[in-house]
Chains A and B, each alone.
Chain A
Amino acid sequence: MTVEPAVATTQRAAAADDRGPGTDLVLELRGVQTFYGQIQALRGIDLEVRAGEIVTLIGGNGAGKTTTLKTISGLIHPRKGQVLFQGRDVSRFPAHQLVRAGIGHAPEGRRIFSRLTVLENLQMGGYTRSPAERREDLERVMTLFPRLRERVRQNGGTLSGGEQQMLAIGRALMGRPRLLLLDEPSLGLAPILVQQIFNIIREINAQGTTILLVEQNALQALSIAARGYVLQTGRVILADTAERLAANEDVRRAYLGEI
């Protein structure tokens, strides 16, 4: 694999060179600009995710990470630029159709259905699937998260924070996504649980799901990702392999809490 240059302005050209036959792009963002009313949250994002990768998106508060994921999953539509999923421009697709197309999104803040049981939450995750597929995937998810199996009859809202996060990830997996978007899955969890969640993310990836991971926990995210993008005020300011980002002075200073 060719290494991408670290500077955003040349990244696009390099990405194009990289897109020869055989490289299977699952996701590509081209100059995506997204607005909330008058406020511009994304100022031209270019990024790509290849099949089987874990790619991480890091950056400070308000950088546009959540907005990027929402733009990909169709909750908001870009005003300019394109979102290509498996080569198809899906910028205008409504979110519910993108689920069927293969995009799973575990949103920021978990957003589980607190007055539905754990089982019902998982069944909702498999909403687009057939009953037989749903049963099969239920088994798979509960094997991945044994805690959820013990709590299937409990209301989602009564779970602990960590359990809710497991439910949010498990629910997204129930749709059998090709691409899984995870927005801060470790937020607010005890260190031991953070480790557990990251292990599970790696396991999900090993089972064949491509992952785009947004994390505040940059060091840990970079440790499981192949590549990463650093966002700042709606722009990609760095794009590189995870290894090199983790070694980058600026990144370490800004996001890994080093002086």
Chain B
Amino acid sequence: MDPQTVTVLTQQFFNALTLGAIYALIALGYTMVYGIIELINFAHGEIFMVGAFIAMFFLTSIGFSGSIPDPLTLAAVLALTFLVTMTVLGFIGVGIERFAYRPLRNAPRLAPLITAIGVSFILQNVVQIWRGPSPVNTPQLLTHNVRFDIGAASIGYLNIFIFLVAVVLMVALQLFVGRTRLGRAMRSTAQDREAAQLMGVNINSTIAITFFIGSALAGAAGIVYGLYFGSIQFTIGFVAGLKAFTAAVLGGIGNLAGAALGGFFIGFIEVAAAQIGYARWTPAFVFGVLILVLVFRPSGLLGQPIGERA
């Protein structure tokens, strides 16, 4: 390979990682909610979108609308933005579960599914009324100009930051679900709700915690989306949500590691499509993959979901 190609591929590799990280963060919420109540939460993409807007609103409210050169201030502002946005989104997710899904917990499966679509319309419209239908610029705390070089390729620190945020959150989630008492309660509830109750688990609060975490992660994805693309719109949740859903199915819905893997996979497909000159065809590639997976490996790459019944 000639050096020019290597440079481009290196560059694109990091772009794919960044995009993949965003999809992975959103996909986790789909998979967690599906794992515990077997609902495809179609409002989840919109939760991500709301996260992007809350972050934007928070940053401009505290007076930051451009890049922050001082690293300490930057770190503090970022930490605060994540804390606030993720908390707010967590509670929004809990509220949606409480008022839209919980009353339908014993209803036929189609009912909560349609409700989820309804919730996603509500969220879109609320944001449209709040911020208008046109794209809105988001504060660029970390500009794309801050870069370092790998060979001839130059990589933005922003790309690295987004990837690291995703990895840290995913590792934390894995530890929480895999090692803690509450995490065990979540997995037990996913497998056998009645048996979990007989262990003393409060099903309602366990499901609420699941929504909190899933929505908070979507909120984090919303923040980094705004930082990366510089502009957001009330419609961004729809397509990103569908792609992240594809990622979750690809990895094996209900499986956390699968969702992360699927997210990065979708990121790579998109970047590859763009690289070979078919950027406008990316949705076709992504959903083509979804169809192939559904036909040939319906349980996804990593197989059995965590919520498989005993």
Contact = CB atoms under 8 A, between A and B. Distances in A.
Nearest to A171: B199
A73 B198 contact: yes
A124 B185 contact: yes
B201 interface: yes
B310 A120 contact: no
Nearest to A157: B310
A127 B194 contact: no
B7 to A, nearest CB: 45
A18 to B, nearest CB: 30
B221 interface: no
Contacts of A100: 200
A123 B310 contact: no
A115 B200 contact: no
Contact of A75 (B185, B191, B197): B197
Nearest to B307: A115
A256 to B, nearest CB: 30
A115 B35 CA distance: 13
B67 interface: no
B195 interface: yes
A125 B192 CA distance: 14
Contacts of A96: 197, 199-203
Interface stretch (A6-14, A106-114, A192-200): A106-114
B147 interface: no
Interface string A170-192: 01100100000000000000000
A128 to B, nearest CB: 4
Nearest to B306: A115
Contact of A105 (B188, B198, B306): B198
Given A113-B310, A123-B181, A127-B181, A175 B200 contact: yes
A100 B199 CA distance: 9
A101 to B, nearest CB: 10
Nearest to A164: B310
A113 B200 contact: no
Nearest to B308: A115
B113 interface: no
A61 B306 CA distance: 33
B310 A114 contact: yes
B187 interface: yes
A94 interface: yes
Contacts of A111: 192, 194-195, 198, 310
A99 interface: yes
B197 A124 contact: no
A127 B308 contact: no
A124 B199 CA distance: 6
B168 to A, nearest CB: 25
A116 interface: yes
A124 B182 CA distance: 10
Given A96-B200, A115-B308, A127 B195 contact: no
Given A111-B194, A113-B192, A99 B199 contact: yes
A192 B203 CA distance: 38
A175 to B, nearest CB: 7
Q: Which 4 A-B pairs have the closest CB atoms?
A: A99-B200, A128-B200, A111-B195, A95-B197
Given A111-B310, A124-B185, A127-B181, 7 more contacts: A75-B197, A96-B202, A107-B195, A115-B187, A116-B187, A123-B181, A175-B200
10 contacts: A75-B194, A94-B202, A96-B197, A111-B310, A114-B308, A115-B191, A124-B185, A124-B188, A127-B200, A128-B199
Interface of A: 73-75, 94-96, 99-100, 104-105, 107, 111-116, 120, 123-125, 127-128, 156-157, 171-172, 175
Interface of B: 181, 184-185, 187-188, 191-192, 194-203, 304, 306, 308, 310
